[in-house]
A and B are shown apart, each in its own frame.
Chain A
Amino acid sequence: MSFLTIENLSAHVGPSPILRDVSLSVEAGEVRGLVGESGAGKSMIGKAVLGTLPLAVQVTSGRILLDGEDLLAMRPRDRRRVIGAKAALIPQDPLTALNPSRRVGPQITNRLVDILGWTRQDAQMRALELLHEVSIPEPERVMRAYPHELSGGMRQRILIASAFAAEPRLIIADEPTTALDVTVQKQILKLIRQMQQRHGTALLFVTHDLGVVSKVCQSLTVLFGGLVLEDTRVEPFFAHPSHPYSAALLAATPKYTDPDASLTPVPDAVIEGVQAEIAAHDRMQPHV
């Protein structure tokens, strides 16, 4: 059974839809890529699962099942507890994802102590262990440091360690390498992959980069305008993408075509085709 199941999730900002009947699932231990250009709604899906949607976004229909429990049907307090215990987020920008006025240590251990009821010593031990695992030198010193004293790569490692701290069954990684230097990107990607395998965590990897997907993911969902265009395993996708938009996206990604060939942006005709598809989808909906 899949650990995360999203069924027919629709969301609006004011009158305009941003998620259209999205369905997808992440099996236990699986890595699924959630791919789309900016504005496709891919981050919104992650936010919907974690309960951090902006105030302006309203979920109009659908279910989000985490470990069999319907998150949207729960009281907010219970939902937060379930999410805090079973899921975690690796955020996009390590520079803004650590609270500048607090030391690093408590920012890793606070979930364990406050939400999961660990003792302070156990949480401390666990944090040190994890910092060690993500290859941070001198973990004791780092625990006492303020975020501004550490480099961007270090901070992203800390955030990864923190995400794995409670042994969540699902981690949502929201473009975790976009804000980093190219050289650091590779290491971080490798680290996330290693940690995921070692801990057997399911991973929903939100990204706009098909190159990253090919390295990390087993399956993927392609999104445009809040509509799922393709949902498939990675191998068949890279061999024969079934949707014209996916094919165009693949053609626009370096390395997977001839590296010397000039990259072709997604052609207007393809975009128009997708937009027609979205319009057709919206016509099918009863008006809210």
Chain B
Amino acid sequence: MTLLRRILLRLLTMAITLIGVAIIVFFVIRVVPGNPIAMMLPPGAGEEDIARLKALYGLDKTIPEQFVIWLNGVLHGDFGTSITSRQPVLKLVLSRLPATLELSIMALVIAVILGGTLALTGTRRRGTRTEGTIDIVNGMALSVPDFLWGLVFILLFGVLWPVFHISGRVSPALDLPFVTNFYLFESVLRLRFDIWADLVSHMFMPALALAIPLAAIISQLLKQSLKETMHLDYVTLSRTKGYGENHVITHEALPNAVLPTLTLIGVQFTFLIGGTVIIERLFSYEGLGNMAIDAVINRDLPLIQGIVILFALIFTVVNLVVDLTYAALNPRLRNG
């Protein structure tokens, strides 16, 4: 299959998936009991006011009609207006997206470094007690989800030994000179390392909680495929050329062992992003997930829709990127 056909096929499935997600969310949330309009009006407002507001938000039409109107808007870049804050959904969502992206990518980086180090160490020391210990640590880390790791870290590093912030994204006292919401990124660009340190100190605990299960998966799978690769002839041949164990692992075994791990990281990264919803809540981190939970509690239908669609979009894009990276890294697929 050529690369182009591969991409087109993936784009098609992406579109189908996104429409499916849109339909499901749209219909599910319209069954929500509890009238969002009633919450917006002062007590004693008349029937007329309610009808006017309903018309304003399009809630007076049938559900399929509402869907068509909404979909038409989305295709023109209009995701509607948030009921609680009365601001455009797109604007709200985009203002929170950078925080969630920074958190997810930080977690991914931690997971790759942690998992990769464990896998390489385990391979280097295969058959020893060190490897046995790594296996047990992996098993533990995999068994417990991010939510619980988050709570454990809050207890350990927020209370018992308070070295990290466990609440918020940045200290409120800091004056932020930023024009974008990519604080972490922009703080580096502006060489404001004081703010950068404060951001990292806030982000590290939630990111680590998100990273631990993924790190364990990476470590487990990468170590397994490294160990399988270490038996292959080209690895042996490279040893006879005079290369040491470390070089053999990183230069000969790793490039081949990394491919299956890469595919897995893709799928698992979407799980990680899904995990930000509760982790952001747990650490009061001002990202999309936290906003989403508030939106559900406040019955803010347009905002819920917007956020869910955005998450679905991120998930499918991540999958696409992974698929393409895999194709680009694998010489067999690249030329075939």
A and B touch in the complex (CB under 8 A): yes
Q: Which residues of A contact B (CB under 8 A)?
A: 50-52, 55, 76-77, 80-81, 83-85, 87-89, 91-93, 96-102, 107, 110-111, 114-115, 146, 148-149, 159
- The answer, yes or no, to whether B332 is at the interface (CB within 8 Å) is yes
Q: Would B236 and A115 count as touching, CB distance under 8 A?
A: no
Q: Would B237 and A89 count as touching, CB distance under 8 A?
A: yes
Please name the residue on chain A nearest to B242 by beta carbon.
A84
- How many residue pairs link A and B with beta carbons under 8 A? The number is 74
Closest 6 CB pairs of A and B: A84-B242, A115-B242, A97-B233, A111-B241, A101-B255, A96-B233
Which residues of the other chain, B, contact A97 by a CB distance below 8 angstroms?
Answer: 233-234, 237
Please name the residue on chain A nearest to B330 by beta carbon.
A101
Please name the residue on chain B nearest to A79 by beta carbon.
B242
Which residues of the other chain, A, contact B252 by a CB distance below 8 angstroms?
Answer: 99
Number of interface residues of B (CB under 8 A): 23
Distance (whole angstroms) from the CB of A23 to the closest CB of chain B: 22
- A92-B233, A148-B332, A149-B335 given; A52·B255 CB < 8 A: no
The 0/1 profile, CB within 8 Å of A marked 1, for residues 229-256 of chain B is 0001110111111111001000010011
- A101-B255, A149-B335 given; A91·B241 CB < 8 A: no
CA distance A154 to B329 in the complex (A): 24
Q: Would A85 and B239 count as touching, CB distance under 8 A?
A: no
Which residues of the other chain, A, contact B243 by a CB distance below 8 angstroms?
Answer: 80, 84, 114-115
Q: Would A99 and B234 count as touching, CB distance under 8 A?
A: yes
CA distance A107 to B332 in the complex (A): 18
Distance (whole angstroms) from the CB of A76 to the closest CB of chain B: 8
Interface of B is mostly: helix
- A77-B244, A81-B242, A149-B335 given; A91·B236 CB < 8 A: yes
CA distance A92 to B240 in the complex (A): 14
Q: Would A84 and B240 count as touching, CB distance under 8 A?
A: yes
A-B contact pairs, 24 of them (CB 8 A): A50-B239, A51-B239, A55-B127, A76-B244, A77-B244, A80-B243, A80-B244, A81-B242, A85-B242, A88-B241, A89-B237, A89-B240, A91-B233, A99-B255, A100-B234, A100-B331, A101-B330, A111-B241, A114-B243, A115-B241, A146-B332, A146-B335, A148-B331, A159-B237
- The answer, yes or no, to whether B126 is at the interface (CB within 8 Å) is yes
Which residues of the other chain, A, contact B237 by a CB distance below 8 angstroms?
Answer: 89, 91, 97, 159
Distance (whole angstroms) from the CB of A201 to the closest CB of chain B: 15
Please name the residue on chain B nearest to A112 by beta carbon.
B241
Give the residue among B126, B241, B243 with the most A Cβ atoms within 10 A.
B241
Distance (whole angstroms) from the CB of B236 to the closest CB of chain A: 5
Which residues of the other chain, A, contact B238 by a CB distance below 8 angstroms?
Answer: 99, 110
The 0/1 profile, CB within 8 Å of A marked 1, for residues 133-160 of chain B is 0000000000000000000000000000
Give the residue among B233, B242, B243, B329 with the most A Cβ atoms within 10 A.
B242
Other A-B pairs, 9, CB within 8 Å; known A84-B243, A99-B252:
A50-B239, A55-B126, A80-B239, A83-B240, A88-B241, A89-B240, A91-B237, A99-B234, A115-B243
CA distance A40 to B261 in the complex (A): 38
Q: Would A96 and B239 count as touching, CB distance under 8 A?
A: no
Which residues of the other chain, A, contact B329 by a CB distance below 8 angstroms?
Answer: 101
CA distance A77 to B239 in the complex (A): 11
CA distance A107 to B331 in the complex (A): 15
- A99-B255, A100-B256 given; A87·B331 CB < 8 A: no
From A52, A55, A98, A148, contact of B240 by CB (8 A) = A52
Please name the residue on chain B nearest to A159 by beta carbon.
B237
Which residues of the other chain, B, contact A107 by a CB distance below 8 angstroms?
Answer: 234
